[in-house]
Amino acid sequence: SASSSKPAGDNDSKAPLPKGVVLDKDGKPCRTCTSVASWRALTKQADLKSANSNSTSSPTSSTGKMTTSTAGLAAAATASPSETPSDCPPDVEELGRSTWTLLHSMAATYPEKANAEHQANMSGFLKFFSKLYPCWVCADDFQAWMAHPSGRNQPKLGSRKDFGWWMCEAHNEVNRKLGKKEFDCRLWEERWRTGWKD
């Protein structure tokens, strides 16, 4: 989780990192582990730092054009999250929303009664998914949750109902960690398979 990640300020630069910025295992900021808002704060901080390290306080270069860093700073100061271009690399939230869509849709199209091969395929997928998910702090926590020593969080793969419920519980675990509202798992099929009842 963001809380179990490396703390802000544990990097090379002297200024503490903005709140919510998560570092990668190599000590560099991890974009797919960080929200757009925190990422903006980080780029703003970097732009301010490079602007301060320039000898003149002028926002223009000797050619009279805006420097790249100043232009970046201006953009960071004026853009709101809703203006984020859709063709930017995903932040932790966009990646998460897209991934939950995939995962719940896999549950929605899972067989009503799954045979041994189907169960083994899904089990393998979840095992690799939980290791390869691009936000490493998310992946670490998800793996730890699945591997709870009691065995209670192991994927339930016998049927669509069981698997969909399990996926909903997995998602709720992350919702709780992030302080979000829990989803009523009795409604997972309406949300992800049949559509809402009128």
- List interacting residues with ligand FAD (CB under 6 A): 1-2, 92-93, 96-97, 99-100, 104, 133, 137-138, 141-142, 168, 171-172, 174-175, 178, 180, 183, 188, 191
Contact yes or no for 174/146 (Cβ under 8 A) = no
- 24 vs 183, beta carbon nearer ligand FAD: 183
Token pair for residue 131? 């290791």
Minimum gap (Å) between residue 98 Cβ and ligand FAD? 8
CB of 111 to ligand FAD, least distance (A): 19
Helix (H, G, I), strand (E, B) or coil at 160: helix
Angstrom distance (rounded) from CA 190 to CA 114: 21
Three-class secondary structure of residue 188 per DSSP? helix
Identity of the residue, 142 or 163, whose beta carbon is nearer to ligand FAD in the bound complex: 142
User: Burial of 135 by CB count in 10 Å (0-12 exposed, 13-18 middle, 19+ buried)?
Assistant: buried
CB of 85 to ligand FAD, least distance (A): 18
Cβ closest to ligand FAD, residue 74 vs residue 178: 178
Widest CA span in the chain:
70
Residue 195: burial class (beta carbons within 10 Å; 0-12, 13-18, 19+)? exposed
CB of 102 to ligand FAD, least distance (A): 8
To ligand FAD, the closest distance from the beta carbon of 148 in angstroms equals 15
Nearer to ligand FAD, 61 or 175 (CB): 175
Give the whole-angstrom CA distance, residue 11 versus residue 56: 28
Is the Cβ of residue 37 or residue 48 nearer to ligand FAD in the bound state?
A: 37
